[in-house]
Protein backbone atom coordinates (compact mmCIF):
# COMPACT_ATOMS: atom_id res chain seq x y z
CA UNK A 1 0.00 0.00 0.00
CA UNK A 2 2.87 2.31 0.86
CA UNK A 3 4.54 1.73 -2.50
CA UNK A 4 1.29 2.28 -4.36
CA UNK A 5 0.91 5.64 -2.62
CA UNK A 6 4.56 6.46 -3.37
CA UNK A 7 3.99 5.81 -7.08
CA UNK A 8 0.99 8.13 -6.99
CA UNK A 9 3.03 10.86 -5.27
CA UNK A 10 5.57 10.60 -8.06
CA UNK A 11 2.80 11.01 -10.61
CA UNK A 12 1.47 14.05 -8.72
CA UNK A 13 4.97 15.48 -8.78
CA UNK A 14 5.21 14.92 -12.54
CA UNK A 15 1.97 16.85 -12.95
CA UNK A 16 3.57 19.81 -11.17
CA UNK A 17 6.67 19.56 -13.35
CA UNK A 18 4.50 19.42 -16.49
CA UNK A 19 2.95 22.68 -15.45
CA UNK A 20 6.29 24.48 -15.29
CA UNK A 21 6.52 25.61 -18.95
CA UNK A 22 3.12 27.23 -18.64
CA UNK A 23 3.90 29.14 -15.43
CA UNK A 24 7.33 30.22 -16.65
CA UNK A 25 6.00 31.71 -19.85
CA UNK A 26 3.08 33.32 -18.06
CA UNK A 27 5.34 34.97 -15.50
CA UNK A 28 7.64 36.32 -18.22
CA UNK A 29 4.80 37.96 -20.10
CA UNK A 30 3.16 39.19 -16.87
CA UNK A 31 6.34 41.00 -15.83
CA UNK A 32 6.77 42.60 -19.19
CA UNK A 33 3.18 43.74 -19.50
CA UNK A 34 3.36 45.20 -15.99
CA UNK A 35 6.49 47.16 -16.83
CA UNK A 36 4.50 48.81 -19.63
CA UNK A 37 1.74 49.71 -17.22
CA UNK A 38 3.78 51.41 -14.54
CA UNK A 39 2.30 54.84 -14.75
CA UNK A 40 -1.28 53.93 -15.49
CA UNK A 41 -3.98 53.27 -12.93
CA UNK A 42 -5.01 49.69 -13.24
CA UNK A 43 -8.73 49.06 -13.15
CA UNK A 44 -9.24 45.38 -13.83
CA UNK A 45 -12.07 43.52 -12.08
CA UNK A 46 -9.81 40.76 -10.76
CA UNK A 47 -7.40 43.17 -9.06
CA UNK A 48 -9.98 45.41 -7.43
CA UNK A 49 -9.35 46.03 -3.74
CA UNK A 50 -12.61 46.71 -1.92
CA UNK A 51 -13.47 47.07 1.77
CA UNK A 52 -13.92 43.52 2.93
CA UNK A 53 -17.43 42.74 4.09
CA UNK A 54 -17.59 39.12 3.00
CA UNK A 55 -14.93 36.52 2.31
CA UNK A 56 -15.16 33.28 0.35
CA UNK A 57 -13.03 30.59 1.97
CA UNK A 58 -12.08 27.77 -0.39
CA UNK A 59 -11.31 24.60 1.59
CA UNK A 60 -9.50 21.75 -0.15
CA UNK A 61 -9.80 18.31 1.47
CA UNK A 62 -9.41 14.78 0.18
CA UNK A 63 -11.99 12.40 -1.17
CA UNK A 64 -11.07 9.30 0.78
CA UNK A 65 -10.06 8.45 4.31
CA UNK A 66 -7.23 6.26 5.59
CA UNK A 67 -4.87 9.24 5.53
CA UNK A 68 -4.33 9.91 9.21
CA UNK A 69 -5.03 13.45 10.38
CA UNK A 70 -4.80 15.03 6.93
CA UNK A 71 -8.42 16.09 6.50
CA UNK A 72 -8.83 16.98 10.18
CA UNK A 73 -5.93 19.44 10.12
CA UNK A 74 -7.46 21.25 7.17
CA UNK A 75 -10.92 21.42 8.74
CA UNK A 76 -9.49 22.54 12.08
CA UNK A 77 -7.68 25.37 10.32
CA UNK A 78 -10.92 26.28 8.54
CA UNK A 79 -12.78 26.48 11.85
CA UNK A 80 -9.95 28.60 13.26
CA UNK A 81 -10.19 31.03 10.37
CA UNK A 82 -13.99 31.23 10.59
CA UNK A 83 -13.64 32.05 14.29
CA UNK A 84 -11.17 34.84 13.49
CA UNK A 85 -13.49 36.29 10.86
CA UNK A 86 -16.49 36.19 13.20
CA UNK A 87 -14.47 38.11 15.79
CA UNK A 88 -13.68 40.96 13.41
CA UNK A 89 -17.24 40.99 12.10
CA UNK A 90 -16.55 39.79 8.59
CA UNK A 91 -19.10 37.51 6.93
CA UNK A 92 -17.92 34.40 5.15
CA UNK A 93 -19.09 31.65 2.83
CA UNK A 94 -17.45 28.31 2.17
CA UNK A 95 -16.56 26.70 -1.14
CA UNK A 96 -15.61 23.15 -0.24
CA UNK A 97 -13.65 20.88 -2.57
CA UNK A 98 -13.32 17.22 -1.67
CA UNK A 99 -15.81 14.65 -0.34
CA UNK A 100 -14.44 14.69 3.21
CA UNK A 101 -14.88 18.43 3.57
CA UNK A 102 -18.26 18.27 1.83
CA UNK A 103 -19.50 15.72 4.36
CA UNK A 104 -18.19 17.84 7.25
CA UNK A 105 -19.99 20.98 6.08
CA UNK A 106 -23.17 19.11 5.18
CA UNK A 107 -23.42 17.87 8.75
CA UNK A 108 -23.13 21.45 10.00
CA UNK A 109 -25.93 23.44 8.33
CA UNK A 110 -25.17 26.48 10.50
CA UNK A 111 -22.05 27.18 8.41
CA UNK A 112 -22.87 29.26 5.29
CA UNK A 113 -21.81 27.27 2.26
CA UNK A 114 -21.69 28.54 -1.29
CA UNK A 115 -20.86 25.31 -3.11
CA UNK A 116 -19.71 21.78 -2.46
CA UNK A 117 -17.53 20.35 -5.21
CA UNK A 118 -16.34 16.75 -5.34
CA UNK A 119 -12.65 16.40 -6.03
CA UNK A 120 -11.04 14.14 -8.61
CA UNK A 121 -8.19 11.75 -8.02
CA UNK A 122 -5.93 13.67 -10.41
CA UNK A 123 -6.52 17.43 -10.65
CA UNK A 124 -7.40 18.49 -14.19
CA UNK A 125 -7.57 21.88 -15.87
CA UNK A 126 -11.32 21.35 -16.32
CA UNK A 127 -11.70 21.03 -12.55
CA UNK A 128 -9.50 24.07 -11.90
CA UNK A 129 -11.45 25.98 -14.55
CA UNK A 130 -14.85 25.28 -13.00
CA UNK A 131 -13.58 26.32 -9.57
CA UNK A 132 -12.03 29.42 -11.11
CA UNK A 133 -15.34 30.27 -12.82
CA UNK A 134 -17.20 30.02 -9.52
CA UNK A 135 -14.67 32.23 -7.69
CA UNK A 136 -14.45 34.65 -10.61
CA UNK A 137 -18.20 35.20 -10.67
CA UNK A 138 -18.41 35.43 -6.85
CA UNK A 139 -15.73 38.11 -6.82
CA UNK A 140 -16.64 40.11 -9.92
CA UNK A 141 -20.35 40.22 -9.06
CA UNK A 142 -19.25 41.71 -5.71
CA UNK A 143 -20.94 38.90 -3.80
CA UNK A 144 -17.65 38.59 -1.91
CA UNK A 145 -14.78 41.06 -1.56
CA UNK A 146 -11.95 38.61 -0.98
CA UNK A 147 -11.25 34.96 -1.76
CA UNK A 148 -8.96 32.93 0.47
CA UNK A 149 -7.62 29.51 -0.42
CA UNK A 150 -7.00 26.92 2.31
CA UNK A 151 -4.93 23.95 1.15
CA UNK A 152 -2.17 21.66 2.42
CA UNK A 153 1.38 22.38 1.43
CA UNK A 154 3.52 19.36 0.74
CA UNK A 155 6.36 20.02 3.18
CA UNK A 156 7.72 16.59 3.96
CA UNK A 157 6.52 13.03 4.16
CA UNK A 158 5.66 13.29 7.83
CA UNK A 159 4.60 16.91 7.99
CA UNK A 160 1.43 18.44 6.58
CA UNK A 161 1.08 22.17 6.58
CA UNK A 162 -2.38 23.66 5.94
CA UNK A 163 -1.90 27.23 4.72
CA UNK A 164 -4.25 30.04 3.76
CA UNK A 165 -3.40 32.21 0.77
CA UNK A 166 -5.22 35.22 -0.56
CA UNK A 167 -6.36 34.24 -4.05
CA UNK A 168 -8.44 37.26 -5.02
CA UNK A 169 -7.97 40.19 -5.48
CA UNK A 170 -4.90 39.33 -7.55
CA UNK A 171 -1.96 41.65 -7.45
CA UNK A 172 -1.21 42.89 -10.99
CA UNK A 173 2.39 41.76 -10.54
CA UNK A 174 1.20 38.25 -9.76
CA UNK A 175 2.46 38.13 -6.18
CA UNK A 176 1.12 35.40 -3.94
CA UNK A 177 0.29 36.52 -0.40
CA UNK A 178 -0.83 34.66 2.69
CA UNK A 179 -3.35 36.16 5.08
CA UNK A 180 -0.66 37.73 7.26
CA UNK A 181 0.49 39.82 4.32
CA UNK A 182 3.71 37.92 3.60
CA UNK A 183 4.10 38.01 -0.15
CA UNK A 184 6.15 35.91 -2.49
CA UNK A 185 7.20 37.07 -5.92
CA UNK A 186 5.48 35.36 -8.84
CA UNK A 187 8.85 34.55 -10.37
CA UNK A 188 9.84 32.42 -7.36
CA UNK A 189 8.28 29.04 -7.81
CA UNK A 190 8.66 26.42 -5.09
CA UNK A 191 8.69 22.85 -6.32
CA UNK A 192 8.61 19.62 -4.41
CA UNK A 193 10.38 16.42 -5.37
CA UNK A 194 10.01 12.91 -4.04
CA UNK A 195 13.44 11.30 -3.75
CA UNK A 196 15.10 8.59 -1.73
CA UNK A 197 17.65 9.27 0.95
CA UNK A 198 19.48 6.36 2.55
CA UNK A 199 16.92 3.94 1.21
CA UNK A 200 13.96 5.86 2.60
CA UNK A 201 11.57 8.20 0.83
CA UNK A 202 12.03 11.89 1.45
CA UNK A 203 10.74 15.15 0.02
CA UNK A 204 12.89 18.02 -1.15
CA UNK A 205 11.61 21.48 -1.85
CA UNK A 206 13.52 23.90 -3.99
CA UNK A 207 12.83 27.45 -5.07
CA UNK A 208 13.17 27.96 -8.78
CA UNK A 209 13.43 31.53 -9.94
CA UNK A 210 12.16 32.28 -13.44
CA UNK A 211 14.31 34.55 -15.54
CA UNK A 212 12.37 37.59 -16.70
CA UNK A 213 14.29 39.12 -19.57
CA UNK A 214 13.00 42.31 -21.12
CA UNK A 215 11.19 41.84 -24.39
CA UNK A 216 12.78 43.13 -27.56
CA UNK A 217 11.57 46.71 -27.84
CA UNK A 218 9.72 46.12 -31.12
CA UNK A 219 7.05 43.85 -29.63
CA UNK A 220 3.66 45.27 -30.66
CA UNK A 221 0.70 44.97 -28.34
CA UNK A 222 -2.36 44.13 -30.35
CA UNK A 223 -4.60 45.55 -27.64
CA UNK A 224 -4.01 48.02 -24.82
CA UNK A 225 -1.67 46.62 -22.14
CA UNK A 226 -4.61 46.69 -19.75
CA UNK A 227 -6.68 44.42 -21.98
CA UNK A 228 -3.81 42.01 -22.27
CA UNK A 229 -3.41 41.98 -18.50
CA UNK A 230 -7.13 41.29 -18.30
CA UNK A 231 -6.54 38.14 -20.36
CA UNK A 232 -3.43 37.09 -18.44
CA UNK A 233 -4.82 37.26 -14.93
CA UNK A 234 -7.51 34.57 -15.34
CA UNK A 235 -4.74 32.27 -16.60
CA UNK A 236 -2.80 33.08 -13.47
CA UNK A 237 -5.86 32.41 -11.30
CA UNK A 238 -6.36 29.03 -12.95
CA UNK A 239 -2.77 27.94 -12.52
CA UNK A 240 -2.80 28.99 -8.85
CA UNK A 241 -5.89 26.89 -8.21
CA UNK A 242 -4.45 23.93 -10.09
CA UNK A 243 -1.23 24.17 -8.09
CA UNK A 244 -3.11 24.20 -4.80
CA UNK A 245 -5.07 21.11 -5.89
CA UNK A 246 -1.88 19.32 -6.92
CA UNK A 247 -0.10 20.12 -3.66
CA UNK A 248 -3.10 19.00 -1.63
CA UNK A 249 -3.25 15.68 -3.47
CA UNK A 250 0.48 15.12 -2.96
CA UNK A 251 0.11 15.89 0.77
CA UNK A 252 -2.87 13.56 1.02
CA UNK A 253 -0.93 10.75 -0.68
CA UNK A 254 2.04 11.28 1.64
CA UNK A 255 -0.27 11.21 4.66
CA UNK A 256 -1.84 8.02 3.33
CA UNK A 257 1.62 6.50 2.83
CA UNK A 258 2.38 7.22 6.45
CA UNK A 259 -0.93 5.98 7.74
CA UNK A 260 -0.57 2.75 5.73
CA UNK A 261 2.99 2.34 6.91
CA UNK A 262 1.99 2.80 10.54
CA UNK A 263 -0.95 0.46 10.09
CA UNK A 264 1.32 -2.23 8.61
CA UNK A 265 3.84 -1.81 11.43
CA UNK A 266 1.12 -1.98 14.07
CA UNK A 267 -0.43 -5.02 12.43
CA UNK A 268 2.94 -6.72 12.35
CA UNK A 269 3.50 -5.97 16.07
CA UNK A 270 0.02 -7.17 16.91
CA UNK A 271 0.55 -10.35 14.92
CA UNK A 272 3.80 -11.00 16.75
CA UNK A 273 2.42 -10.51 20.24
CA UNK A 274 -0.67 -12.55 19.35
CA UNK A 275 1.54 -15.35 18.06
CA UNK A 276 3.58 -15.37 21.22
CA UNK A 277 0.51 -15.35 23.38
CA UNK A 278 -1.05 -18.22 21.38
CA UNK A 279 2.13 -20.30 21.56
CA UNK A 280 2.39 -19.74 25.30
CA UNK A 281 -1.16 -20.96 25.78
CA UNK A 282 -0.52 -23.95 23.58
CA UNK A 283 2.67 -24.83 25.43
CA UNK A 284 0.97 -24.36 28.78
CA UNK A 285 -1.79 -26.76 27.73
CA UNK A 286 0.69 -29.34 26.46
CA UNK A 287 2.74 -29.05 29.67
CA UNK A 288 -0.47 -29.47 31.63
CA UNK A 289 -1.38 -32.64 29.73
CA UNK A 290 2.13 -34.07 30.15
CA UNK A 291 1.97 -33.39 33.89
CA UNK A 292 -1.39 -35.16 34.06
CA UNK A 293 -0.05 -38.17 32.17
CA UNK A 294 3.09 -38.29 34.34
CA UNK A 295 1.06 -37.89 37.51
CA UNK A 296 -1.38 -40.56 36.31
CA UNK A 297 1.41 -42.98 35.37
CA UNK A 298 3.17 -42.38 38.71
CA UNK A 299 0.01 -43.52 40.48
CA UNK A 300 -0.44 -46.67 38.42
CA UNK A 301 3.19 -47.77 38.82
Partner 1 sequence: MTLNLRVMAPNRIVWNSEVQEIILSTNSGQIGVLPNHAPLLTALDIGILKIRINGQWSTMALMGGFAMIDNNQMTILVNEAEKAVEINPQEARDTFQIAQKKLAQAEGRKQVIEANLALKRAKARLEAIDATPPSPVPN
Q: What is the binding site for partner 1 (CB under 8 A)?
A: 15, 18-19, 21-23, 25-26, 29, 33, 123-126, 128-129, 132-134, 136-138, 140-143, 215-216, 218-223, 227-228, 230-232, 234-235, 238-239, 242
Q: Which of 9, 67, 176, 229 is catalytic?
A: 67
Helix (H, G, I), strand (E, B), or coil: what is residue 180?
coil
Q: In whole angstroms, how close is the CB of 12 to partner 1 at the nearest point?
A: 11
CA-to-CA separations, 57 to 91, 111, 135, 147, 182, in angstroms, rounded: 10, 12, 10, 6, 18
Q: In whole angstroms, how close is the CB of 220 to partner 1 at the nearest point?
A: 5
Question: Which H/E stretch holds residue 117?
Answer: strand 113-117
Q: In whole angstroms, how close is the CB of 241 to partner 1 at the nearest point?
A: 9
Helix (H, G, I), strand (E, B), or coil: what is residue 222?
coil
Q: Cα torsion for 284, 289, 290, 296, to the nearest 10°?
A: 150
Q: Compare residues 221 and 278 and give the one whose CB is closer to partner 1.
A: 221
Strand-pair partners of 84? none
Cβ-based neighbours of 62, under 8 Å, separated by 6 or more: 70, 71, 98, 99, 100, 119, 248, 249, 252
Q: Is 177 a catalytic residue?
A: no
Q: In whole angstroms, how close is the CB of 232 to partner 1 at the nearest point?
A: 6
Radius of gyration of the chain (CA): 27
Q: Compare residues 67 and 128 and give the one whose CB is closer to partner 1.
A: 128
Q: Distance (Å, rounded) from C-alpha 86 to C-alpha 66?
A: 32
Q: Distance (Å, rounded) from C-alpha 259 to C-alpha 211?
A: 40
Q: Are 208 and 189 in contact (CB under 8 A)?
A: yes
User: What length is written for the chain?
Assistant: 301
Q: In whole angstroms, how close is the CB of 215 to partner 1 at the nearest point?
A: 8
Q: Distance (Å, rounded) from C-alpha 266 to C-alpha 12?
A: 28
Q: In whole angstroms, how close is the CB of 66 to partner 1 at the nearest point?
A: 26
Q: Compare residues 198 and 222 and give the one whose CB is closer to partner 1.
A: 222
Q: Distance (Å, rounded) from C-alpha 180 to C-alpha 136?
A: 23
| Phi, psi (rounded to 5 degrees) for 91 | -75, 160
- Residues designated catalytic: 67
Amino acid sequence: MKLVAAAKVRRAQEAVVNGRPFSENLVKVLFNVNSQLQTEDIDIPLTQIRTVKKIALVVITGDRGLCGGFNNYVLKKAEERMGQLRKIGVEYTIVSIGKKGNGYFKRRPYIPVDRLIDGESAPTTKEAQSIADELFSLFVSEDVDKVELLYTRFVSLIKSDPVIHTLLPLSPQGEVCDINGNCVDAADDEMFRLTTKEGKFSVEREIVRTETPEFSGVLTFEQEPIQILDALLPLYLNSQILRALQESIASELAARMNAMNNASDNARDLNKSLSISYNRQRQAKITGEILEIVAGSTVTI
